[in-house]
Structure formats: structure tokens, C-alpha cells
Amino acid sequence: MGYLNNQVVTVDAILTKKGRELMARGDGSFSIKQFGLSDDEVDYTLYNPNHPSGSAYYGEAIENMPLLEAFPDQNQMMKYKLVTLARGTALMPTLQLSAQSLDISNNGEITLRANTINYLDGQTTEQSGYQFTISDVRLTSTFIGNGLGPDADAENQSNSQTVITNGTATSKTVIGLSCSGTATGVPTLFTNTSTLYGTITVVGLDSGARAQCPITISNRSIVTKSAGVGLS
């Protein structure tokens, strides 16, 4: 990670790890259709309405802040996307998840729903749905998005299988009003541990609100055998 020269206009465009993964498939999965803007590196507390040089300098400290170079971890960048809300909005939308954390046994069912509060006069669901990203796809055997209608759900179902069990952790993203799936039951993943950890990150596609849910997969099929001693 580095800083960009904020004295010149620079477009620093890279592919994230997820983008490279989709491009490597070569099946048309990599298709750029939209873009978003964020202000992750901006500290608005530096806005100074008491600047001695007048109103033209209130935001001087903010304007002189360095900008971060783009970096490839999609889970650590663009956390604070710019969104359009109604004039007079007093509270930023936030997400309310159906569970604060998920503790599931191997081969167990995964379900997580999202609602948005402080949004559009009490509306609790977003028209475009929510983006659910599991940090390590190896934690699941299936992982899908639900609730956006028959066509979207059918497409999600056709791409539900996530049988990736080797190599480094790779994330998977699905879109819906909720996500569901099945925890992994692959024995080799539990060779050196009885518990696997990950995170499901949820982003409202209309509000930009963001929340995280830790997920724990426990291998409860392990049976502890005690040694017996026979006496004669």
C-alpha cells in the first residue's frame, strides 16, 4: 500500500483478488457493469469552520490529505461508499442482521437475512438487495442468495456449488435479500483443527450500509474414543 500524489489527477485502476478470480475463469463472469465511489481515507473531523483565513479554507486540511493507492483486497477497501439519500436525512441507514454470529456444525445449514433501518421513510428492504460475501468459500459446500425473484434465485441456484477445498482462502459473493447454504463437511479441512472461522460481510446495494457476521464451523462428527483395559 502507498500514497498517491494529490497534487495531480490520478486514476489508479487495478483488479481486486475477486476480479482476477472471475477473469481467470474465462466464462464471461468478469463483466464490469457499474462503478462506485467511496471516501474511506477522508477524516471529516478535520473540517474547520473556525479557520482564520475564512470559509475558502475550512476544508483545507481535508483537501490536502494523501490518497491511498488502490489495493487488491476487496474486503478492506471501499467500505464507505457514497450514496444518494433524501434531503433532510438525519440518520445514516444501518443494517440489522438476523444473527450477530453463526455457530454451525459441519454439514449444517447456514441462513442469514438482512434488513435496513433508518431508510426511506421506514422501508426495511432494499430494491436492489444485499451483497453477501463469505470470506473463505471453503467453509461452505453451497452458498446462494435468495429473495430477489424467480429468475435471480434460479441463477443463484445454478451457481450454488462451492466445492473449492484446496489452496488459499477465496471469497464468494452472492446477491439477494438473504443468503443460505450448507457448511462444509470436507474432512481434510479439519485435519489440524476442529473449528474453522470466517466472516460474512453484508452490504446494502442501495443504501451502502455495511455489517459483518462472524461464522464458526465446528467439526462435531469427531468422536473421542477412550482406551479400554481388559482384565482376566
Instruction: Label residue 163 by pLDDT band (50, 70, 90).
Output: very low
**pLDDT of 4 above 70:** no
pLDDT at res. 223: 45
Q: What is the DSSP string of the chain?
A: --EE-TTS--------HHHHHHHHH-SS---------B-TT--GGG--TT-TT-GGGTTHHHHTSPEEPP-S-TTSS--SB-----TT--S--EEEES-S-EEEETT-EEEEEEEEES-TTT--S-TT-EEEEES-GGGEEEEEEE-S-HHHHHHHHHT-B----SSS---EEEEESEEEEEE---GGGGSS-SEEEEEEEEEETTT--EEEEEEEEE-TT--PPPP-----
Q: Give tens-digit pLDDT for 13-72.
A: 888 877 888 888 888 888 888 787 888 888 889 999 999 999 999 999 988 888 777 777
Domains and CATH numbers, the chain: 1-82 (no CATH), 94-218 (2.60.40.10)
